[in-house]
Amino acid sequence: MSKLVTIYGGSGFVGRYIVRRMAKEGWRVRVAVRRPNEAMFVKPYGTVGQVEPVLCNIRDDASVAAALHGADAVVNCVGILTQNGKNKFDAVQAEGAGRVAREAAAAGIDKMVQISAIGADAEAESDYARTKALGEENVLAHMPNVMILRPSIMFGAEDKFFNRFASMARIGPIVPAIGAETKFQPAYVDDVAAAAVKGVLGEAHGIYEVGGPNVHTFRELLQTMLCVIQRRKLILNVPFPIARVMAWAFDLLETITLGLVKNPAATRDQVKNLCLDNVVADDAKGFAELGITPTAMEAVLPDYLWRFRPSGQYAAIKGSAKNLRA
């Protein structure tokens, strides 16, 4: 019988790409998620019965252990950008990651991949970055041979970065950028998935910081996005002091309304993260050590941002028509 991998958060952005790649490797894939009915789209990634979504709450020991039954390897992709209800940063990213590792070790599993993030730091002001680091520590305590992947921001068809700002660019004349000079090293989500597969197969372990081939400022990322969607907009830098006040006000409004009104901009914690560059450290192991050539964002963005162009799918046809008339 083929081997089995349990992927926690396997229906999420990076998780689905790992699921697809593991299915191609011939493994059976168990996708552990909170809402299996909303994860049925992963089933066609493999043959009949090869990929199965199962119910799991990463905050519960028994639930996590049940999802591991019979598994040969485990991947934890669970992470949150904002807190909601019982899904707090500490409960999900620190305690949840440790719970997966503890239960995996108890089950005799010796291969694990933990998806973390560049900037993970136990002393960070940001709760997101702090709990990512605590999650790494908790995992290492139980699974010393774990592969920990720390990606910069990731791009791909389902991303919440370029899609979000491209959507904003359709509405008004301005695209706001909190900390326009903050640097990023965008990584293609499928490249990150390819790295994770190496960890599952036992070909690599340790900590890897993974980013794309180029470093860009936030402003440059938005300029590239605007070029792809063929729109001319003003990129407005929002200074950090102003961003902090705005984030505080929006967070307060969300609290007062009991979550009925969501923060439309950035939370206070996200503003703290945006103050720091998000790039691969000079002395870190990365894609090169894994034998992976990272994909440039310019090669992928047109494949999914075309729908934000003024003429959408017909933009190229209209461009060709103009050339003919000329």
- How many Cβ atoms sit within 10 Å of the Cβ of residue 210? 28
Residues 132-148: tens digit of each pLDDT: 999 999 999 999 999 99
**Residue 136 within a domain:** yes
pLDDT(326) > 60: no
- Domain assignment present for residue 30? The answer is yes
Q: Give the Cα-Cα-Cα angle 78, 84, 89 (nearest 5 degrees).
A: 50
Q: How confident is the model at residue 254 (pLDDT cuts 50, 70, 90)?
A: confident
Note down the domain range covering 56.
Answer: 4-156+184-213+278-292
pLDDT in tens, 63-78: 999 999 999 999 999 9
Q: What pLDDT sits at residue 184?
A: 98
**Residue 312 forms part of a structural domain:** no
The per-residue pLDDT for range 177-194, each reduced to its tens digit, is 999 999 999 999 999 999
> What 3-state DSSP class applies to 225?
helix
**CA 189, 290, 151 angle in degrees (round to 5)?**
35
**CATH number of the domain encompassing residue 119:** 3.40.50.720
Asked whether residue 25 is domain-assigned, the answer is yes
Give me the long-range contacts of 266-272 (CB less than 8 A, separation at least 24): 266/178, 267/82, 268/244, 269/82, 269/89, 269/126, 269/127, 269/128, 270/81, 270/82, 270/126, 270/128, 271/178, 271/240, 271/243, 271/244, 271/247, 272/124, 272/125, 272/126, 272/129
**What share of the chain has pLDDT > 70, as a percent?**
97
Confidence of residue 1 (pLDDT cuts 50, 70, 90): low
Q: How many domains does the chain fold into?
A: 1
Domain assignment present for residue 35? The answer is yes
The verdict on residue 196 lying in a domain is yes
Residue type, 43: K
> What is the model's pLDDT at position 219?
98
Query: What is the average pLDDT across 288-310?
Result: 97
| pLDDT for the residue numbered 324 | 64
| CA 211 – CA 117 distance, rounded (Å) | 11
Q: Say what the pLDDT of residue 163 is.
A: 97
Q: Is residue 21 included in any domain, yes or no? A: yes
Does residue 104 form part of some domain?
yes
- Report pLDDT for 307: 96
pTM of the prediction?
0.94
